[in-house]
């Protein structure tokens, strides 16, 4: 009898030696004359448990982790292939509290299936949304996405259905679907998890978008920092094309959609949609002035839907289960689920896909388990490097786009980075502007020059030079950047700075 084991092939799992663990398990099994099949799945997103090894038993999949190569022999001794008890045993995977309490919709298959096995994907509900869409009129696909309440998960939270409708209504021989997989925000990895762990889900979402707006070509722009994701996703495109989910006749619809993966080149600004389009066209990634909207004049001047990975990967379930199913999750105008990504100084960092509506505190403490260092969490940055730093007094803010805006923050792509009380918030403020200066596309002065000047002013403040006057100068500079920048890099980089000044003034030295 062959026992099936799962050892993740996700880059994060590999970063803590999952490959070596897989090899060790195969060797040990061979030495003991035991027949095993090792599936290389994606990650469940419970990273403190990686490498998380699962065994298919009569009681379901049971988990062990974090497994090091030196643990492998003792796992065999303990009879882990039939779920035997061991210090690393975690019980039935689906019953692990962190996982069980989540609303895994977009990430339902992550860590469950072999990411490059299209049949495994189908066996877990894959391709149903696309098959349904192929039988619908394009306008009905757009209507389903609109009714689901799905908003863009890349940062700006713009309703996906409205964007699709604009593109669908544009008249053109050629239209494009572009997926923004630039995932530049620190503290985020949801896109990477999908690209590596459930790539067919993104492919399915893009094919549905193509049928909805009448696009025949698609591009996925993957950042160069993700070479592993690029390789996996490129393979997935080939497999899906061979299987007829992409190509000249998508899902038997009689319509064509060809998909291409492209690699970025280490520029944060290329996550901004118009800069990304410039980059895809082979130019410097400089931001375009809007209008025209990409939905009307996008890639190579043609109508283009550009959406984030998570947005597009959330579409298959909307088409498979219906708009109402998705919309019933969430609160207020934030419908469905958000894959939150816990990072930084927390004990249990990982992917938490939940319906909108839990509080930041629940996320940080019930899921995150508090800080990894055991010290108090002092500040949390949400929404990437342009997001405000929130102090403990704001931890009861509800995870909802509007509630976050009201609290002076933004959810962005859902990255949550915690810092303990050893953090120097003046240093964090300085970094925000240093980053802006490094990554500015150079098109407008407030961003290009302002960020560099801002760093200098913060240096003077930190050196104790004329605190009051320099703080005024810094706030003026921030104001100029906020109001005079063409895009959100220059326009939002001041937010972490101002939030640090407002909530953590003591870190900037005494006011004279």
Partner 1 sequence: MPPATQPAMILKEPGLAPDARRAVLDAIEPRRALPGALLPILHAVQDALGYVPRDAVPLIANALNLSRADVHGVVSFYHYFRSEPCGRHIVQICRAESCQAMGAVALEAHAKATLGVDWHETTRDGAVTLEPVYCLGNCALSPAVMIDGDLHGRVTPQSFDTLVAATRSGA
Ligand X SMILES: Cc1cc2nc3c(=O)[nH]c(=O)nc-3n(C[C@H](O)[C@H](O)[C@H](O)COP(=O)(O)O)c2cc1C
Residues of this chain that bind partner 1 (CB under 8 A): 11-12, 14-16, 45, 47-48, 50, 183-189, 191-192, 224-229, 262-268, 279-285, 300, 341-345, 349-351, 372, 381, 385, 415, 417-420, 423, 428, 431, 435, 438-439
The one of ligand SF4, ligand FES, ligand X, none whose footprint includes residue 156, by CB under 5 to 8 A per kind, is ligand X
Q: Token pair for residue 92? A: 């039935």
Answer whether 493's CB lies under 8 Å from 436's CB. Answer: yes
Nearer to partner 1, 15 or 27 (CB): 15
Task: From 107, 59, 48, 104, select the one nearest 83 (Cα to Cα).
Answer: 59
156 binds ligand X (CB under 6 A): yes
Give me the least distance between CB of 127 and partner 1, in Å please.
Answer: 27
Options 142, 363, 388, 487; binder of ligand SF4; rule CB under 6 A: 487
Give me the least distance between CB of 349 and partner 1, in Å please.
Answer: 4
Q: Taking CB under 6 A as the rule, which mask of x and - marks residues 232-271 in contact with ligand X?
A: -------------------------------------x-x
Nearer to ligand FES, 15 or 27 (CB): 15
199 binds ligand X (CB under 6 A): no
The one of ligand X, partner 1, ligand FES, none whose footprint includes residue 489, by CB under 5 to 8 A per kind, is ligand X
Give me the least distance between CB of 170 and ligand SF4, in Å please.
Answer: 25
376 binds ligand SF4 (CB under 6 A): no
What is the rounded distance in angstroms from the CA atom of residue 154 to the CA atom of residue 156? 6
306 binds ligand X (CB under 6 A): yes
Give me the least distance between CB of 121 and ligand FES, in Å please.
Answer: 28
The one of ligand SF4, partner 1, ligand FES, none whose footprint includes residue 287, by CB under 5 to 8 A per kind, is ligand SF4
410 binds ligand X (CB under 6 A): no
DSSP string, 78-113: TTGGGT---TTEEEEGGG-HHHHTS--STTTTTTTS
Give, in order, the Cα–Cα distances in Å from 93 to each of 19, 45, 47, 90, 206. Answer: 21, 12, 14, 7, 30
Answer whether 141's CB lies under 8 Å from 250's CB. Answer: no
Answer whether 129's CB lies under 8 Å from 317's CB. Answer: yes
At which residue do the structure tokens 């200098």 appear?
456
Answer whether 215's CB lies under 8 Å from 170's CB. Answer: no
431 binds ligand FES (CB under 6 A): no
Q: Taking CB under 6 A as the rule, which mask of x and - marks residues 441-480 in contact with ligand SF4?
A: xxxx--xx--------------------------------
Give me the least distance between CB of 9 and ligand SF4, in Å please.
Answer: 35
What is the rounded distance in angstroms from the CA atom of residue 348 to the CA atom of residue 350? 6
Options 4, 172, 186, 253; binder of ligand FES; rule CB under 6 A: 186
DSSP string, 199-228: HHHHHHHHHHHHHHHT--EEEEEE-TT-HH
Give, in order, the Cα–Cα distances in Å from 456 to each of 462, 473, 477. Answer: 10, 11, 12
> β-strands 176-181, 304-308: how paired?
parallel
Binding to ligand FES in span 73-132, by CB under 6 A: none
Task: From 432, 446, 452, select the one nearest 496 (Cα to Cα).
Answer: 432
Task: From 255, 304, 235, 307, select the one nearest 130 (Cα to Cα).
Answer: 255
Give me the least distance between CB of 402 and ligand X, in Å please.
Answer: 16
At which residue do the structure tokens 């001041």 appear?
494
- Give the chain's end-to-end CA distance (angstroms, integer): 77
202 binds ligand SF4 (CB under 6 A): no
List Cβ neighbours of 40 (8 Å cut-off, separation of 6 or more): 6, 7, 8, 9, 22, 114
Q: Under the rule (CB under 6 A), what is the footprint of ligand FES?
A: 186-187
Q: Under the rule (CB under 6 A), what is the footprint of ligand X?
A: 152-156, 158, 180, 182-184, 269, 271-273, 306-308, 311, 487-489
Q: Under the rule (CB under 6 A), what is the footprint of ligand SF4?
A: 269, 287, 440-444, 447-448, 485-487, 489-490
């Amino acid at each position: 009898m062959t026992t099936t084991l799962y050892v993740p092939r996700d880059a994060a799992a590999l970063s803590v030696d999952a490959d070596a663990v897989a090899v060790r398990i195969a060797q040990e099994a061979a030495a003991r004359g035991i027949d095993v099949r090792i599936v290389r799945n994606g990650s469940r997103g419970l990273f403190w448990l990686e490498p998380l090894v699962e065994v298919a038993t009569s009681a379901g999949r049971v988990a062990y982790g974090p497994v090091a190569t030196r643990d492998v022999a003792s796992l065999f001794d303990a009879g882990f292939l039939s779920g035997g008890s061991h210090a690393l045993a975690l019980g039935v995977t689906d019953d692990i509290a962190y996982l069980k309490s989540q609303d895994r919709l977009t990430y339902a298959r992550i860590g469950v299936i072999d990411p490059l096995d299209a049949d495994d994907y189908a066996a877990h509900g894959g391709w149903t949304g696309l098959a349904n869409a192929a039988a619908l009129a394009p306008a009905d696909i757009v209507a389903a996405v609109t009714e689901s309440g799905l908003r863009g998960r890349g940062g700006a939270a713009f309703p996906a259905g409205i964007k699709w409708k604009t593109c669908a209504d544009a008249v053109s021989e050629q239209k494009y679907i572009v997926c923004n997989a630039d995932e530049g925000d620190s503290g985020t990895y949801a896109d990477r998890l999908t690209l590596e762990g459930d790539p067919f889900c993104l492919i399915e979402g893009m094919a549905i978008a193509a049928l909805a707006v009448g696009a025949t070509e698609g591009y996925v722009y993957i950042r160069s920092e993700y070479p592993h994701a690029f390789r996996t996703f490129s393979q997935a495109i080939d497999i899906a094309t061979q299987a007829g989910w992409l190509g000249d006749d998508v899902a038997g619809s009689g319509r064509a959609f060809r998909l291409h993966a492209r690699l970025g080149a280490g520029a944060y600004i290329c996550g901004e949609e118009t800069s990304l389009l410039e980059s895809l066209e082979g130019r410097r990634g400089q931001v375009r002035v809007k209008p025209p909207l990409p939905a009307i004049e996008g890639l190579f001047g043609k109508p283009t839907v550009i959406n984030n990975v998570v947005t597009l990967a959330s579409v298959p379930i909307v088409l498979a289960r219906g708009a109402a199913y998705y919309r019933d999750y969430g609160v207020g105008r934030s419908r469905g689920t958000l894959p939150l990504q816990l990072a930084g100084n927390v004990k249990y960092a990982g992917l938490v896909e939940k319906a909108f509506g839990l509080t930041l505190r629940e996320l940080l403490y019930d899921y995150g388990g508090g800080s990894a260092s055991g010290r108090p969490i002092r500040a949390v940055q949400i929404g990437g490097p342009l997001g405000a730093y929130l102090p403990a007094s704001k931890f009861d803010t509800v995870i909802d786009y509007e509630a976050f805006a009201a609290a002076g923050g933004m959810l962005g792509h859902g990255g949550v980075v915690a810092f303990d009380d050893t953090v120097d918030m003046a240093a964090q403020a300085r970094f925000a502007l240093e980053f802006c200066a490094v990554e500015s596309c150079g098109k407008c002065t407030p961003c290009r020059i302002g960020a560099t000047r801002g760093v200098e002013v913060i240096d003077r403040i930190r050196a104790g030079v004329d605190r009051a006057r320099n703080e005024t100068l810094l706030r003026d500079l921030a104001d100029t950047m906020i109001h005079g920048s063409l895009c959100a890099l220059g326009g939002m980089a001041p937010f972490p700075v101002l939030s640090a000044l407002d909530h953590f003034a003591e870190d900037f030295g005494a006011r004279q």
